[in-house]
Amino acid sequence: MPMLGADMEAGTLVEWKVAPGDQVTRGQIVAEVDTEKGAIEVEIFEDGTVERLLVSPGSKVPVGTVLATIRGTGEPVGAAPAPAPAPVPAAAAAAAPAPAEAHRLRVSPLARRRALDLGVDVSRLTGTGGGGAVTVADVEAAAGKPAAPPATAAPSMRRAIAAAMSRAKREIPHYYLATDIDASRVVSWLTARNAQVPVTERMLVAAPLLKAVALALRDAPALNGLFVEGEYRPGTSVHLGVAISLRQDGLVAPAIHDADRLSVPDLMQALGDLIARVRKGGLRSSELADATATVTSLGDQGVGTVYGVIFPPQVAMIGLGRIVERAWAAGGQVTARPVLTATLSADHRVSDGLVGARFLTTLDRLLQQPEAL
C-alpha cells in the first residue's frame, strides 16, 4: 500500500486491474485504492509478472503492506519476497468484495467516500448523475439514509488535511513574501490567442501562470524539493503540485510532472486532465507522491492575495490571487492595469528571504514575456 500523502496511514483496496500471471510494465496501473484523497490508481514500479495478489478488494490495510508479489523479468518462480502479514480486517464500512467491473464505473470521489462511510457497494448502484455517474444521493438512497446536505468533505479527508496542515505549522518555519505583478501582457497575449482558436483549444490564464512558476522554480533549487528525515533533497525535476478543490469541500494537490518542460497548451491540457480526474476519480499514485512544490490559487473566489500553508515534505507554496484591474504607477503615469498578487510561503530551514525574493522577481520577469513561455 503506497504512501499517497504525508499523513496517510491506511488505504482500502477497491479493485485489482491485473490478475496473477499478467505481464506488467513500470508505470502500468495495477490497482485502485480508496484513501482520504478519494480513489487513486496505483502504478507499478517495475517490470515483471504478477505472481500473487495478497490483498482482496474491500480490505483496508496499513501503508507499507505488500499488496502483491511481482516476479521480475528473468527471476525464477518463487523468488518473490515473502507475503506480508495478513491484512487488517476492514472496518465495518468496507463492503463485500466488489465484482469485477466490466467497465469503469463513474463515481464522484465524494460519493465513493460516502459509500465507504455508509457501507454501500457502489459497484451495485445505478448512477443517476451525468454519464451514469453515481452521486452522493444515489449512495444515500441505497443506504436508506435521508439525503443529508452534501456540504462537507468526508471526515477522513478533513482529518487528512488537518494532519498535514498541523504538521506543516508545527515543523516548518514559514516565511512569507508577496509581490504585485503587472499582468497586462499575459492577459492580452491570452485574450488574443483565445480569440483565434475554437473553444476546445481555449486556455485559462492558469496555464501561462503555472508555466512561469515552473520555470522560476527550476531556477530556484532551494524552493523545489523535499525536506525528508532532517535534510533537504532538491528535486531533480519540477513536478508542480496544483491545489484543486473538490466542488463540495476538501482539496487535493496532485502534481503535473515536468511542468517546466511542457508547452503552455500542453500544460493546459494536463491541468484539465488532472482537474477532471480529481473530480471523477482516477488520480495516479505518482501524481500524489511526486510534487516538488505546490501552487494554490483562490482567484476564482475573488481573493486578491493568498498565503498558502506548505504541504510537507515540500518546502514552498506559491499563491496566486485573482487578476484585477488596479491603478498602476509606471514611468511617472498612473494607468489602470490587470494586476496579479503572487505570494511565496517558503521553509526557512532551507532557504532565506533573498532566495524567495529572487524567485518572485524571476516570476515577474517571465510573465512580462508570455510569448516566450
Where do contacts with other proteins occur on this chain (CB under 8 A)? 108, 110, 129-131, 133, 135-137, 150, 191, 194-195, 198-200, 202, 204, 206, 245, 247-248, 271-272, 275-276, 300
Question: In the bound complex, what is the minimum distance in angstroms from residue 135's beta carbon to other proteins?
Answer: 5
Give the β-pairing of 293-297 and 240-242.
parallel
10: enclosing H helix or E strand: strand 10-16
Burial of 368 (0-12, 13-18, 19+ CB in 10 A): middle
- Cβ proximity to other proteins, 194 vs 237, nearer residue: 194
Question: In the bound complex, what is the minimum distance in angstroms from residue 171's beta carbon to other proteins?
Answer: 31
Question: In the bound complex, what is the minimum distance in angstroms from residue 192's beta carbon to other proteins?
Answer: 10
Question: In the bound complex, what is the minimum distance in angstroms from residue 301's beta carbon to other proteins?
Answer: 8
CA–CA gap between residue 186 and residue 370 (Å, rounded): 5
CA–CA gap between residue 56 and residue 13 (Å, rounded): 7
Half-sphere exposure (Cβ direction) of 144: Cα atoms closer than 13 Å: 1
- Cβ proximity to other proteins, 127 vs 225, nearer residue: 127
Question: In the bound complex, what is the minimum distance in angstroms from residue 223's beta carbon to other proteins?
Answer: 26
Cell 512580462, residue located: 368
- Cβ proximity to other proteins, 199 vs 330, nearer residue: 199
For residue 175, give the amino acid letter: Y
Question: In the bound complex, what is the minimum distance in angstroms from residue 300's beta carbon to other proteins?
Answer: 4
The residues near 70 (Cβ < 8 Å, ≥ 6 apart) are 24, 44, 46, 48, 49, 50, 51, 80
- Cβ proximity to other proteins, 136 vs 220, nearer residue: 136
- Cβ proximity to other proteins, 46 vs 300, nearer residue: 300
> For 64, left (φ over 0), alpha (ψ -120 to 50), or beta?
left
CA–CA gap between residue 97 and residue 114 (Å, rounded): 17
Question: In the bound complex, what is the minimum distance in angstroms from residue 46's beta carbon to other proteins?
Answer: 35
In 89-205, which residue ranges form alpha helices assigned H by DSSP?
A: 109-118, 136-143, 155-171, 184-196
Q: Which three cell numbers stand for residue 164?
A: 498535514
Question: In the bound complex, what is the minimum distance in angstroms from residue 60's beta carbon to other proteins?
Answer: 26
- Cβ proximity to other proteins, 55 vs 110, nearer residue: 110
- Cβ proximity to other proteins, 157 vs 220, nearer residue: 157
- Cβ proximity to other proteins, 66 vs 275, nearer residue: 275
- Cα separation values, 254 from 48, 271, 285, Å: 27, 10, 9
